[in-house]
């Protein structure tokens, strides 16, 4: 298949580009190369690269017309940045999603939109959100991702154009920006600096290795059944304190310290991905310790 992958120069997009190429697809990456994206993330990877903004409707339409499938991953992604200035998040994550959605609708091209567990807000300790549960986003980033999903649902109702949505949990792995928790902790650990966790470190996240996410995306691309919303989770729930402590242990014993909590911190995220796993025949393969060890080795080599 000919695939247009937006955000393919970012952390997860560059893993998905590799996976889709391995599966025999021809991949065009459309990416604005913000601070989070880099051509180096695609070094040695045989994609057609187009530098461009997903809010640029004519450029997006021209590229969409030339493919069979669009995987939309371009986004502003860092929650702390969204708390400081939500404007780029609303622009890229809502208007950019609308531009991509309309281009796919007009060209009758299939769209897979990548979203997040954060659209549901905090999950109670015994809850894992189902595909059709209502949204309750708790920070500016999350509300823009929820809004994009809202556009998809309303476009289906009003225009009969139906896109797929993939929601996933916290990813970690190679090429992640060091502003994100795990990449930042690993970097600090190998430098022998203390690892900072917000508040008491009790926030729970579900940790998925990015290569497992990319394999899941490959399965979603290949899927041609009736499911429209997919959950890719790890069922590997750890508090931030547990995660930072494990990284410190695996890397030789850096200190872990609690710092001021950030506003809008959700206590726990959780997705029920049982139905998706059955439908697409997927499950994660990389254990947390293996994934973290690989990152620590890579960070030591840099
Ligand atoms: N990282 C996670 O743990 C996680 C979890 C759930 C969902 N997601 C979603 O997965 C997707 C990828 O996340 P990531 O962590 O790889 O993000 P990232 O920040 O590493 O990469 C985002 C990419 O999008 C590009 N981009 C940003 N604005 C753009 C614009 N206006 N036009 C074109 N390109 C633009 C950037 O240059 C970058 O290459 C996002 O949609 C995100 O919401 C991420």
Is the pLDDT score of 109 beyond 90? yes
Q: What angle do CA 224, 143, 130 make, to 5 degrees?
A: 45
Print burial letters for 66-95: b (CB count within 10 Å at least 16), e (below 16): ebebbbbbbbbbbbebbeeebeebbebbbb
Q: CB within 6 Å of ligand 1 — which residues?
A: 6-7, 9-13, 31-34, 36-37, 53-55, 73-77, 92, 96, 114, 116, 145, 168, 170-171, 177
pLDDT tens-digit map of 168-197: 999 999 999 999 999 999 999 999 999 999
pLDDT score for 262? 84
- All structural domains of the chain, each given as residue ranges with its CATH number in brackets, are 2-171+208-234+271-280 (3.40.50.720), 175-204+236-260+287-301 (3.90.25.10)
pLDDT score for 239? 97
Q: Which residues are catalytic?
A: 117-118, 141
Q: Which atom of ligand 1 is nearest to the CA of 168?
A: 6
Ligand 1 center from residue 111 Cα (angstroms): 16
Q: Whose CA is nearest to atom 41 of ligand 1?
A: 73
Is the pLDDT score of 204 beyond 90? yes
Mean pLDDT, residues 54-64 taken together: 98
Mean pLDDT, residues 221-246 taken together: 98
Q: Which atom of ligand 1 is nearest to the CA of 12?
A: 16
Confidence of residue 142 (pLDDT cuts 50, 70, 90): very high
pLDDT score for 263? 84
Query: What percent of the chain shows pLDDT beyond 90?
Result: 97
Report helix, strand or coil for 128: coil
Is the pLDDT score of 290 beyond 90? yes
Confidence of residue 302 (pLDDT cuts 50, 70, 90): confident
- Average pLDDT of the chain, as a whole number: 97
Report the residue among 4, 8, 10 best suited for mutation to probe ligand 1: largest number of ligand atoms under 8 A from its CB.
10
What is the pTM assigned to this prediction?
0.98
Ligand 1 center from residue 237 Cα (angstroms): 22
Tokens coding 126: 């015994």
Over 205-259, what HEC string results? EEEEEHHHHHHHHHHHHHCCCCCCEEEECCCCEEEHHHHHHHHHHHCCCCCEEEE
Confidence of residue 129 (pLDDT cuts 50, 70, 90): very high
- The answer to whether 166 touches 115, Cβ cutoff 8 Å, is yes
Element (H, E) at 144: helix 140-159
pLDDT score for 80? 94
pLDDT tens-digit map of 263-282: 889 999 999 999 999 999 99
Ligand 1 center from residue 72 Cα (angstroms): 9
């Amino acid at each position: 298949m000919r695939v247009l992958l937006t955000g393919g120069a970012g952390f997860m997009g560059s893993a998905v580009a590799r996976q889709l190429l391995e599966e025999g697809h021809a991949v065009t990456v459309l990416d604005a190369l913000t601070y989070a994206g880099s051509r180096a993330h695609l070094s040695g990877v045989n994609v057609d690269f187009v530098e461009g903004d997903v809010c640029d409707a004519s450029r997006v339409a021209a590229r969409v017309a030339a493919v069979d499938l669009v995987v939309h991953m371009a986004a502003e992604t860092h929650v702390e940045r969204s708390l400081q200035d939500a404007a780029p998040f609303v622009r890229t994550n809502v208007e950019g999603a609308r531009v991509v959605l309309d281009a796919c609708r007009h060209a009758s091209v299939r769209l897979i939109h990548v979203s997040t567990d954060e659209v549901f807000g905090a999950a109670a300790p015994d809850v894992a959100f189902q595909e059709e549960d209502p949204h309750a986003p708790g920070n500016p980033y999350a509300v823009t991702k929820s809004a994009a999903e809202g556009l998809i649902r309303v476009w289906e109702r009003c225009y009969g154009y139906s896109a797929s949505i993939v929601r996933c949990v916290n990813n970690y792995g190679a090429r992640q920006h060091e502003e994100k928790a795990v990449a930042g902790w690993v970097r600090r650990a190998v430098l022998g600096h203390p690892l900072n966790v917000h508040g008491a470190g009790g926030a729970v996240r579900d940790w998925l290795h990015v290569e497992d996410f990319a394999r899941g995306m490959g399965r979603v691309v290949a899927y041609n059944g009736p499911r429209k919303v997919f959950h890719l989770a790890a069922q590997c729930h750890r508090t931030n304190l547990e995660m930072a402590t494990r990284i410190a242990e695996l890397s030789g014993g850096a200190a872990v310290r609690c710092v001021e909590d950030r506003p809008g911190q959700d206590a726990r995220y959780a997705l029920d991905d049982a139905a998706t796993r059955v439908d697409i025949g997927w499950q994660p393969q990389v254990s947390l310790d293996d994934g973290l060890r690989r990152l620590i080795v890579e960070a030591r080599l840099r």
